[in-house]
């Protein structure tokens, strides 16, 4: 696909983040606290500029669940439009009003990935149980991600993508015991974006469940979760590609399930290829990831295949 004007806007946004990183690094040793605050504001500004204006974008707060659990402090939060004005500065944000939350780092390290995966899983384990459809049971009501200007693996022989992926999957195996707990995004502005993709349980009763598919998923079928990485300079990646573009398009795609007025732009972003080309590993899940109420229907292959925003689709982001 040829380069589109939207790609110019995204490259400009990415350049702004890169310039801010250089500026912040000049003073980071003198005052790392202020450097971190500036980095958070960069990401908050990006979200304010690109997401619909009805969202409230706030910094530095904890998520408070119905059970009384309070998360660690989170750097940037996106709140639902009806969130009470009087509570916007209280720094304990009600989980039912949080649409997304992000940890922000100026220079990403392996420990940051581990902490983000652990925190994302802990928050989801303390949210009310969701049931009713495959989509609802696999996707948390709160999107959770890790954002960074750059990374710490700058040596000539360093392999930052491999390092992040290995750390991500190690942390996933240690902390995630259900796909709803997956970290949704990792974005390193000058490197890549990882986003989670989930596939519903593939029933052996489905007509296409034969041959190679059975070899991959086994005789009883399975559900999967993946962290799909789209990186700068990889094979089949267009020159206009931007990790920030993947993040924003991914957010629109996820928000569009709840906010129907975002679906037009979600469709537009797909058509102009903001997602780029990506690939990733896959983790298999058993049928028990679903509640008893829908498990039998899913096992029998009573799923749809193709329509966007259908909670019974075979596959979705």
CB 37, CB 301: distance < 8 Å: no
* pLDDT value of position 20: 85
Indicate yes or no: pTM above 0.75: yes
* Closest C-alpha to 301, from 224, 221, 216, 214: 221
CA angle (275, 49, 231) in 5-degree steps: 25
145 alpha-carbon distance from chain centroid: 5
pLDDT digits (tens, 9 = 90+) for 53-86: 999 999 999 999 999 999 999 999 999 999 999 9
CA distance 21 to 244: 15
CA distance 247 to 78: 14
Residue 28: CB atoms within 10 Å: 18
* pLDDT value of position 239: 79
Regions in the chain scoring below 50 on pLDDT: none
Q: Give the orientation angle of helix 5-28 with respect to helix 243-255, to 10 degrees.
A: 110
* pLDDT value of position 293: 85
Please give the helix or strand (H or E) that residue 34 lies within, else none: helix 32-50
* pLDDT value of position 276: 80
CA distance 204 to 201: 9
CA-CA-CA-CA torsion for 81, 86, 90, 91, nearest 10 degrees? 10
* pLDDT value of position 35: 63
* pLDDT value of position 58: 97
Domain boundaries, the chain: 5-196+229-280
pLDDT digits (tens, 9 = 90+) for 109-125: 999 999 999 999 999 99
CB 111, CB 68: distance < 8 Å: no
């Amino acid at each position: 696909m040829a380069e589109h004007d939207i790609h110019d806007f995204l490259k400009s946004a990415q350049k702004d983040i890169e310039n801010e990183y250089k500026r912040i690094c000049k003073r980071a040793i003198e005052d790392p606290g202020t450097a971190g605050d500036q980095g958070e504001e960069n990401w908050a500004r990006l979200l304010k500029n690109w997401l619909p204006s009805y969202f409230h974008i706030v910094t530095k707060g904890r998520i408070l669940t119905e059970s009384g659990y309070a998360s660690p402090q989170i750097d940037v939060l996106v709140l639902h439009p009806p969130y009470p004005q009087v509570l916007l500065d209280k720094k304990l944000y009600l989980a039912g009003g949080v649409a997304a939350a992000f940890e922000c780092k100026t220079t990403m390290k392996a420990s940051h990935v581990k902490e983000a995966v652990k925190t994302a899983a802990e928050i989801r384990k303390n949210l009310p149980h969701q049931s009713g459809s495959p989509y609802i049971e696999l996707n948390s009501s709160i999107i959770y991600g890790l954002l960074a200007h750059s990374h710490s693996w700058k040596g000539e022989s360093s392999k930052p993508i491999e390092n992040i992926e290995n750390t991500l999957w190690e942390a996933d195996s240690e902390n995630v015991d259900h796909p709803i707990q997956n970290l949704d995004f990792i974005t390193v502005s000058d490197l890549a974006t990882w986003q989670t993709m989930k596939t519903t349980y593939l029933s052996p009763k489905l007509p296409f469940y034969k041959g190679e598919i059975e070899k991959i998923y086994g005789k009883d079928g399975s559900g999967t979760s993946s962290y799909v990485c789209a990186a700068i300079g990889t094979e089949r990646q267009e020159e206009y590609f931007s990790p920030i573009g993947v993040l924003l398009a991914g957010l629109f795609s996820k928000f569009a399930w709840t906010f129907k007025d975002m679906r037009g732009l979600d469709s537009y972003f797909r058509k102009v290829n903001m997602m780029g080309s990506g690939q990733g590993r896959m983790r298999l899940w058993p049928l028990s990831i679903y509640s008893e109420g829908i498990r039998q229907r899913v096992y029998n292959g009573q799923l749809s295949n193709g329509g966007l925003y259908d909670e019974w689709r075979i596959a979705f982001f």
